[in-house]
Amino acid sequence: MSSFRLDDLISRLSERASRIFKNRETLRPDYIPDELPHRDKEIYKLAEILFHPLLRGDRPSNVFIYGYPGTGKTATTKHVFKAIKEKLTPRLQVPVYCLIINCKIDDTNYRILKEINDFFNIPTPHTGLSLAELYNRIVKELKRRIGFFILALDEIDNFVKKSGDEILYKLTRINSEGITTKVSLVGITNDLHFKEYLDPRVKSSLSEEELVFTPYTADQLRDILYARAKIALYDDSYTDGAINLCASIAAKEHGDVRRALDLLRVAGELAERRNDPKITEDHVKEALKIMERDKIWEVVISLPFHSKLVLLVIAYLQERFLRECTTGEVYEEYVKMCREIGQEPLTARRVSDIINELDMGGLIKANLTSKGRYGRTKYISLRIEKDEIFRALKEDERLEFIIQSISSWSR
């Protein structure tokens, strides 16, 4: 293509881009708006827990925050931390240090302690340090400074499930180390049962105060979406129907704002690509389909190898027999495939467990029937498009060859 036509394409694309999105970035999940509609109560409660003691010169209680994903826990905490920095600190005699660590990213004891060291500009050598030394350096620093340190551990369940709660235990006891910068912890989790994982001493100390975020209703989601659409989209580029549909779909999924915003963004991208003037319900419906497909893709490509193999066998048998298949048929074919690709097959028992896991994960449907002369048999069928499965499984190069030979066979 000549450069002239490329220029033309670029200008046409940017013209189109400007038709729907005024500021696309504000629909991304890491964008935090200045206003958080329908979270006044939570903002107020968290601020009260933290501000009151700070204004009196006392250490705030530790707080434990939980609620479903996308209910504004991270956004609310960041909002309150910003207010501490901008509005509260100028009234206090001593500094308040606020740090949020995303434990989905920093998911080990080492990384968490290292983040705190970095936050206080304590240099650590490239060769690394022991956990004890990283911790001691924090204590030393907190003895050198005077004030308060509010440490939020976001998605805390990720790190505790992976690395245990030893460091958490130490952090809940850190104020007894004779430090002059008093520490308060804010633990945030999407996992409503997370507390059961914790040592009772950590549990009681971490939840001196508790804050529960309830799911947004469809009406609340609609308000949040309209507020965001005002910043992100041009006034005449979306229909009420589209906003309502995004809100009602997300309301059914625990009131997850992230989901609603993603839907609106993907729907907007579809409208833009097609050169349609407005985002409509049809765009949202199609966005939903695309997002579901992406989700399935993610699930399939992250399965362990033998689970992929079992799934492949089920898809293959369904294509060959054009009917549901039984556990026995799946196992027989699975063993054959293992031989063909030089893999040691797992036991029938283990494959039966894998079938249950695939069923629970929503990829297949396994119905147990107790009739018939063979006693109890499971009838297995796919819950998703066979071609989707083949496409995702092909990503695994160990399966590429076998998928190719299957498809040349069935032609």
Ligand X SMILES: Nc1ncnc2c1ncn2[C@@H]1O[C@H](COP(=O)(O)OP(=O)(O)O)[C@@H](O)[C@H]1O
Only segment of 67-75, 143-151, 315-323, 354-362 that touches Mg ion (CB under 5 A): 67-75
CB of 380 to ligand X, least distance (A): 35
**For ligand X, which is the closer residue by CB, 190 or 318?**
190
Partner touching 38 among ligand X, Mg ion, none, CB below 5 to 8 Å by kind: ligand X
Number of neighbours of residue 216 by Cβ within 10 angstroms: 26
Residue with nearest beta carbon to Mg ion: 74
Our CB check for Mg ion shows the closer of 74 and 172 to be 74
Q: How far is CA 249 from CA 11, 30, 282, 290, in A?
A: 35, 21, 13, 14
Question: Shortest Cβ distance from residue 28 to ligand X (Å)?
Answer: 7
In this chain, which residue has its C-beta nearest to ligand X? 72
Nearer to Mg ion, 74 or 109 (CB): 74
70 binds, options Mg ion, ligand X, none, Cβ within 5 to 8 A by partner type: ligand X
41 or 376, CB closer to ligand X? 41
Residues that bind ligand X (CB under 6 A): 29, 31-33, 36-39, 67, 69-75, 224, 257-258, 261
Binding flag, residue 71, Mg ion (CB under 5 A): no
71 touches, from Mg ion, ligand X, none (C-beta below 5 to 8 Å by class): ligand X
Q: How far is the CB of 288 from ligand X (least distance, A)?
A: 18
Residue recorded with tokens 């204590």? 139
Nearer to ligand X among residue 181 and residue 190 (C-beta): 190
Rule CB under 5 A: is residue 109 a binding residue for Mg ion?
Answer: no
CB of 279 to ligand X, least distance (A): 18
Q: How many whole angstroms separate alpha carbon 219 and alpha carbon 201? A: 40
* First vs last C-alpha separation in the chain: 37
Task: Answer whether 327's CB lies under 8 Å from 380's CB.
Answer: yes
What's the closest the beta carbon of residue 59 comes to ligand X, in angstroms?
25
Query: Residue 345 touches which of ligand X, Mg ion, none (CB < 5 to 8 A by kind)?
Result: none
Residue 74 in the binding site for Mg ion (CB under 5 A): yes
Nearer to ligand X, 32 or 335 (CB): 32
Minimum distance, C-beta of residue 29 to Mg ion, in the bound complex (Å): 9
- Nearest approach, Cβ of residue 105 and ligand X (Å): 14
Q: Which is nearer to ligand X, 220 or 318 (CB)?
A: 220
Binding site for Mg ion (CB under 5 A): 74
